[in-house]
């Protein structure tokens, strides 16, 4: 039978057990603390505990050194005004606002804020600070416990993406074409994931309306062209071939001619995405119509009126120029000698060789007809483009005796043709060879905001100017005449005149504006 313990012995046994329990509890606490400390020190985020009553840090994990360059000891030694001075001035007011809000809020509420913090090396890093406020046993605000994450790479990536999107939008909104993405889902439904704002001016519907519902644009295709439009889209989708079509759209009471060029790309989800653009060619179609009507009037004039008649008596070497022939050049009937020399004196120096070769080739029967466009000097000193056509009449001996023909002033047509050539050159550059298109953006001080590699290469090739962002465009053009013309063109653009210029430099043509 075991010995009965005395009260004193039992009391000692209890004390021994309590001591052993306390020792084991301390060991477990120290183990848990070591594990927690190891987790904190190996975390990607920097944790902290700030005593709000003393306004000092009770704890800062070593991760702060990696994030800020400062050791926990250095951070603990900083007074609050030094710490606030390390926050970017543009972010400080928001930081103070959130902290003040947390101090007056409910304990346990989570807060977060983003700000820039000056690294020990001098540069700023972006930090994401997430924390909660804790109370003491008496219910007073006591500590702020949180963790800080370095989000510099994420912010830089986001800002780069935003800058890229802004640059793309700026370019797309300032180019004559309407840039868009057109999508056909696997169920054959259509949508526009993106369309530039210029669509409003072309078709009278906003980009937001089109992106919300594709029918807002598709329904504006002219009823007579809609079936063709859809059919060509389906062919492009089936063959994955580029889509190029000209069709009409209805804008209120007017009809707009649109040229569409786009390239399809099959997507992983079975849909097809087209990247392309619309171009308003209404003016071009009107010019083409004017040209056609002009040709018709020209043929009627040749057939029915004999306007601008000339008749060369090749035997006696005399020429009759009708009053209309002389009037189209601003001369009275008596002011031009009725002789071959009277005509020759009006030739443009650059056309002399061409005219003489055309005359000789026709006389030598190397060509079956005589037809040439050349310039004649108007009485006012300007040069007029003239279309000359004629036929030789042979005598009974088979030799040429008379050469009869007509002149037609085609100056207006040549000017229109030149505009068409410029328009086609711009269109071709934009559509068929986008890699050759010069694209740039400048501010009102002519400083470069953006340019592509083609423009940079062009400036080097033409002017030996190695341009950089921020440089003054005009100062990069050493040729005074080119610099003056460039300034005039951009001043017009700044004044709100939307236009394109193809400027000649030496033997090449460069897209300038």
In which band, very low, low, confident or very high, does the pLDDT at 29 lie, cut at 50, 70 and 90?
Answer: very low
What are the pLDDT digits (tens) for 412-464? 888 888 877 776 665 555 544 456 667 788 888 999 888 888 888 889 988 99
Residue of 286, 308, 184, 204 whose CA lies nearest to 251: 204
Query: What's the CATH superfamily of 159-280?
Result: PAS domain (3.30.450.20)
| Domain ranges, ordered by start, for the chain | 39-150, 159-280, 288-414, 438-511
- pLDDT at 164 (0 to 100): 67
Hey, what CATH class is 288-414 in?
alpha beta
What are the pLDDT digits (tens) for 171-209? 656 666 788 889 999 888 899 988 888 888 778 888 889
- pLDDT at 314 (0 to 100): 86
Report the mean per-residue pLDDT for the chain: 82
Which alpha helices (H) appear in 305-410, and where do they start and end?
323-327, 340-344, 352-363
Given a cut of 50, is residue 513 above it in pLDDT?
no
What integer is the mean pLDDT of 57-75? 91
β-strand partners of 279? 259
In which band, very low, low, confident or very high, does the pLDDT at 25 lie, cut at 50, 70 and 90?
Answer: low
Burial annotation 53-77 (CB, 10 A radius, 16+ → b, else e) = eeeebeebbebbbebbbbebeebee
- pLDDT at 111 (0 to 100): 93
pLDDT > 70 in the chain, percent: 82
What are the pLDDT digits (tens) for 316-331? 888 888 888 888 899 9
Given a cut of 50, is residue 362 above it in pLDDT?
yes
Determine whether 250 is exposed, middle or buried from the number of CB atoms within 10 Å of its CB (0-12, 13-18, 19+): middle
Q: What is the pTM of this model?
A: 0.36
What are the pLDDT digits (tens) for 486-505? 898 888 888 877 555 555 54
In which band, very low, low, confident or very high, does the pLDDT at 508 lie, cut at 50, 70 and 90?
Answer: very low
- pLDDT at 157 (0 to 100): 85
What integer is the mean pLDDT of 250-263? 89
Number of neighbouring beta carbons within 10 Å of residue 195: 26
Given a cut of 60, is residue 34 above it in pLDDT?
no
**Whether the domain at 39-150 and the domain at 288-414 fall into the same CATH topology:** yes
For the record, the structure tokens of 467 come out as 């341009």
Domain at 39-150, CATH from 3.40.50.300, 1.20.210.10, 1.20.140.10, 3.30.450.20: 3.30.450.20
Determine whether 495 is exposed, middle or buried from the number of CB atoms within 10 Å of its CB (0-12, 13-18, 19+): exposed
Burial annotation 369-405 (CB, 10 A radius, 16+ → b, else e) = ebebebbbebeeeeebbbbbebebeeeeeeeebebbb
What are the pLDDT digits (tens) for 379-425? 999 999 999 888 888 888 888 888 888 888 888 888 888 877 776 66
What are the pLDDT digits (tens) for 199-256? 887 788 888 898 889 888 888 899 999 999 889 989 999 999 998 899 998 988 889 9
């Amino acid at each position: 039978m075991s010995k009965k313990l005395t009260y004193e012995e039992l009391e000692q046994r209890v004390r021994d057990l309590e001591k052993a329990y306390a020792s084991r509890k301390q060991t477990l606490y120290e183990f848990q603390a070591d594990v927690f400390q190891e987790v904190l020190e190996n975390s990607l985020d920097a944790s902290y505990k700030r005593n709000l009553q003393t306004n000092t840090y009770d704890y800062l994990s070593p991760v702060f050194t990696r994030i800020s360059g400062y050791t926990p000891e250095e951070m603990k030694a900083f007074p609050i005004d030094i710490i606030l001075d390390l926050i970017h001035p543009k972010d400080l007011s928001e930081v103070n606002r959130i902290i003040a809000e947390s101090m007056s809020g409910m304990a346990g509420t989570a807060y977060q804020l983003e700000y820039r913090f000056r690294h020990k090396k001098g540069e700023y890093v972006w930090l994401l600070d997430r924390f909660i406020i804790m109370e003491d046993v008496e219910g007073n605000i006591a500590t702020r416990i949180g963790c800080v994450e370095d989000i510099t790479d994420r912010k830089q990536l986001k800002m780069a993406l935003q800058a890229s999107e802004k640059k793309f939008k700026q370019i797309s909104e300032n180019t004559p074409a309407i840039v868009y993405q057109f999508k056909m889902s696997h169920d054959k439904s259509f949508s526009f994931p993106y369309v530039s704002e210029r669509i409003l001016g072309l078709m009278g519907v906003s980009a937001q309306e089109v992106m919300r519902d594709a029918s807002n644009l598709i329904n504006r295709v002219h009823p007579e062209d809609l079936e063709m439009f859809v059919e060509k889209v389906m062919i492009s989708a089936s063959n994955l071939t580029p889509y190029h079509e000209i069709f009409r759209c209805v804008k209120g009471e007017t009809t707009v001619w649109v040229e569409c060029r786009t390239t399809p790309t099959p997507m992983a989800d079975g849909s097809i995405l087209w990247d392309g653009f619309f171009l308003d060619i209404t003016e071009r179609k009107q010019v083409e119509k004017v040209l056609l009507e002009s040709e018709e009037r020209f043929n009627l004039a040749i057939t029915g009126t004999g306007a601008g008649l000339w008749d060369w008596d090749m035997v006696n070497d005399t020429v009759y120029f009708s009053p209309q022939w002389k009037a189209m050049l601003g001369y009275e009937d008596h002011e031009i000698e009725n002789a071959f020399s009277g005509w020759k004196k009006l030739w443009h120096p650059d056309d002399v060789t061409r005219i003489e070769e055309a005359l000789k080739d026709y006389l030598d029967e190397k060509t079956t007809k005589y037809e040439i466009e050349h310039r004649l000097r108007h009485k006012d000193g300007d040069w007029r483009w003239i279309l000359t056509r004629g036929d030789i009449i042979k005598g009974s001996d088979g030799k040429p005796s008379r050469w009869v023909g007509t002149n037609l002033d085609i100056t207006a047509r040549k000017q229109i043709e030149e505009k068409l050539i410029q328009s086609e050159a711009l269109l071709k550059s934009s559509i068929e060879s986008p890699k050759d298109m010069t694209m740039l953006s400048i501010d009102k001080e002519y400083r470069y905001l953006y340019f592509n590699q083609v423009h940079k290469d062009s400036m080097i090739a033409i002017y030996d100017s190695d341009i950089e962002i921020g440089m003054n465009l005009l100062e990069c053009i050493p040729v005074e005449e080119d610099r003056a013309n460039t300034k005039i063109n951009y001043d017009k653009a700044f004044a709100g005149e939307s236009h394109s210029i193809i400027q000649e430099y030496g033997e090449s043509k460069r897209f300038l504006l």
